[in-house]
Structure 1
Amino acid sequence: MKRDSVIFLCTGNICRSPMGEGLLKHAIAALPDSSPLKTLRVLSAGTFGEDGMRASSNSIIALDKVGVDISRHVAQSITQEMLDGCFALVAMTQAHLDTVRRYFKTMPPHSFTLLSLVPNAAHTDILDPYGYGMNTYIEVRDEIISAMPHLVKFLEKEYK
């Protein structure tokens, strides 16, 4: 099976990981047509979510403010099949990676927290904004945005 996907991972797949998915898709769309990243599938999933849920309204609004539409997002749980086709698993927290290691037999070749790619990041976990106000969602969005150039650079170097 070809490993041709990047999967963003959070808990419920309704806040952080859909934002990561939408922002990476947006970044890849801006790359030249010749970029190998154009062939990547960008997905998101949750460790303990409820399949079929929509993205949280605050996540949709926060991304809409920067011109990214995730209004059609539908939550899904991570599966072994998804992991088998995954080139890079990008988790929002170390606990998400630990959960996958505990419950699944194999990990993708590249598995890391998103903020671990950011030099001098104050922390490696992105706060779960669920239940907080719009300002928290915007802070989370901006933290994910700050990591996007680092993620794109990593993928351009590693994905052939």
Structure 2
Amino acid sequence: MRSLTRTARSAIVLALAAVTVGGGVSAGQAAAAPELRNYVKTIRCSTADPFPGPRIATRVEVWNNVRFPSDGLPGPAIELVASSPRPQSLLPNMATYTMETTVTWRNVTTGKRGVVRVPTRARLVTWQAVLHPGHGRVNFTIKQKIGAMAFVPMVNPQYSTCRGSAPA
């Protein structure tokens, strides 16, 4: 084995270890990982900017069948992940937006209801909410309150509401 390069020796050792442990993968066989969540759709939820400028085009991605939700509670769940493409910053590396997001949801199949509140501060409009509605069709309403962070939070707050639904 002295004549082989270090890379070739490493490859041989890894191959032998895979065969010994029983984890060998034959040609054409893929080691596919199960999906940890399922993309449903994107909802557009624009809001007036508390700073002078055009409206903030916020996109809310809707995911269902989330096996490991970010809130640490057992899945499956629905996650709403919001983001805007343009940051605003008066001072670099400082939070310039304060957001208070409320998601009210109702499982129309079971009648179960809930409310999730998400306070956030960031250089761009971004937040994430996790819903635990059980199985069935879920309708939700997103209410955003977005203000400027100008030495105090929530200066010149702007409001928006948008709606969506997803299977749970």
TM normalised by structure 1 equals 0.27
The structure with the largest strand share of the pair is 2
Larger relative helix fraction? 1
Normalising by the residue count of structure 2, what TM-score does the alignment of the two structures yield? 0.26
